[in-house]
Structure formats: C-alpha cells, structure tokens
Amino acid sequence: MKVLTVVGARPQFIKAAPVSREIRKRGTEILVHTGQHYDKSMSDVFFEELNIPVPDYHLHVGSKSHGAQTGDMLAKVEEVILREKPDCLLVYGDTNSTLAGALAAAKLHIPVAHVEAGLRSFNRRMPEEINRVLTDHVSEWLFCPTQTAVNHLKDEGITRGVHLVGDVMLDAVGYNSRLAREKSRVLEELGLNRGEYVLITLHRAENTDDPARLSAIVGAINELPLPAVLPLHPRTRDKLPKWGLSIHNPHVRLIDPVGYLDMLELEVNARKILTDSGGVQKEAFFARVPCITMRDETEWTETVELGANVLVGADREKILRAVETFEVDFSRVDPVFGDGRAAEKIVDLLAGDLSR
C-alpha cells in the first residue's frame, strides 16, 4: 500500500500524524506539504516534539488569490503523483490544498480518500465550504467524523464509500495532551491559574476583514471582567490598527501565537474558550471546556446541539452574556466524535480495499 498524503497547514499535519503513524506500520506514505500556509513554528523541533513525519515534498506555493493558489498546487501535486504513482491520495478537511490534491488525483484516475468528509456549514460564501463539497464529490473513500456528516452526504446522494470512523482530531488530542502535560510550562510562564481564565482566539477572515464585526468583538473583549489570554494571530494584529481598533482591557493578556502543545495546555485548563476557530471548537469539546463561538454558523453542529458550544456571532452583548452565564454539565454530553481510534479504522479500510 502506497499512500500519497497532501496537507497544507500546521493543523493538517497535526490531524494527519495519527493516520501517518498507522499507514507507516503497514505500508508506505509519501507526505506532501503544499506550503499553502507559511508557519515559522514548523521547524525540525515541531516534527520531533509531536512525532510527526517530515514532508517528503515541499511545494512552496505560498499565499496567493484562491484561484492562483489552487491552480499552482494542482499543477505541482500532479507532478508528484506522476512521479510517485501512489495507490491512493489522502486529503484532510477543507483547505485549498485539500481541493487541489483531490482534483489532481481524480483527473489522473488515482482514488481519493477524504478525512473529515461530510462536514457542512451550508454557507457557500465560505471558500472552505466549496472545497469540502467538491472534494467529497470526487472521493472514493469518505471518512466521516460523525453521524451528522454521514447524513449530510446521504442528503447529497453520496452513500458509496462512506464510513463513520470518528474524528482523527480526537486521536491527535489524546496523544498530544499527554505530551503537553509533560512538556508545556505555558501556564507558569504566563502566571495563569487552572480554571480561572478565558482563552480567546480570533483570526477568521469573516471577523477580521469586516470592520463592524471586528469592532463589536473587540468591544466585548475590552469589557471582559475575567482574566483572559489572547494569542494574537498575525492577521488580527494587522487588522486592528487598520480599522482603528485596540485591545486595552487590563484583564486581557495579549501574547504571540503559541505552539501546539502550549495551545492544548491553555485549552485544557481554561475556564471558558472564546473563539472563531473550527478546530478550537472541537478541542474545547474534547477538553470538556465550555466554548463560545464568535460565528453565525458552525460545521460542528453536534457541539451546539449537545449544549457544549454556543454561537454568539459578532454580537457584543451576546459575547459578554455568554462569558458570564454559559455553563456546561459535561456529564450529560455524549461522546459523539468516536473512541479515539479513527486513524486505525481509516487505515484498516484503506488497506483492506487496496489489497483486493
């Protein structure tokens, strides 16, 4: 079994790591990093600390418009496929790298496996939604994290090759939380007490690129009455002065972006999490920390339906009310994202089908 895996950003490497470990027990993996997102934290230490394979190819695509970036990746991934001749191509999630990898393989008649298949926000204005829908419709294997994702595919007429395996992110969080407890000293360095602070993340373009939305969110952050820590994303740092905004609440500590293990440690020990990130919503769920999401919709509808996550949009009053009053009894929340063995199930299915 020879699998070519295409990823484009640090979060995808983290998701891919548990699957890569399973693939390499039973076959060969060629790992391709498109370079869609430049991340200076992805040094040798990043791969060593998290036991993540170093990419075999780095395509250095970089930041471009959606069309130019996807087209550049499509051409370069095609070259790798022709050189390596894999049995299948594996992609994750909903980035431009995901779509480019899937299209390149499909056009060369290489079967595509999509991890995190079936997710839908039903907002076609999001480029991620277009990427995930198109990838699902050209995939041979659709590995779904939840029953909701399976149902979404069925509604679109996709039933062949659909497998409910659970969420690989749960595998990754379980593995890396143990490393974080051993290695991270971020709480001590920041002087934070466990369970006594709000963790904030703010980076999504729909918030940072809209001055009205960002102004409302910043207004809420400036009124927070609790200790809070905000690792400030470069996009957000650039947009604040552009829109004439600043975060000046003495309760809120602004810090540079942190590494993955430090971020996990901050999530696990927070009192509440205020975010616009898809990944952080799930990590909050796995960490059993109440999540307040500054978006109007989410792909992870289960977290909202189960009462562990609340959508507040970019509404200052809703944000402040949720920070003050939103609580979760996690003893009543069902573990809908699987048993932490998604990677093993994915590779079992691939190996079984490819051996026929």
Q: Which residues are catalytic?
A: 203
Cβ–Cβ < 8 Å for 143, 149: no
Closest CA to 14 of 41, 186, 111: 41
Hey, which residues does 3 pair with through a beta bridge? Answer: 29, 88
CA angle 273, 201, 286 (to 5 degrees): 45
Classify 324 as helix, strand or coil. Answer: helix
Q: Where are the beta strands (DSSP E) in 56-95?
A: 57-58, 88-92
CA dist list (Å): 300 to 118, 150, 217, 308, 314: 11, 13, 21, 11, 18
Closest CA to 173 of 76, 280, 276, 68: 280
- The Cβ of residue 13 has, within 10 Å, a number of other Cβ atoms equal to 26
Edge-to-edge strands, sheet with 228-231: 252-255, 228-231, 198-200, 272-275, 291-293, 309-311
Q: Which two tokens stand for residue 186?
A: 């971020």
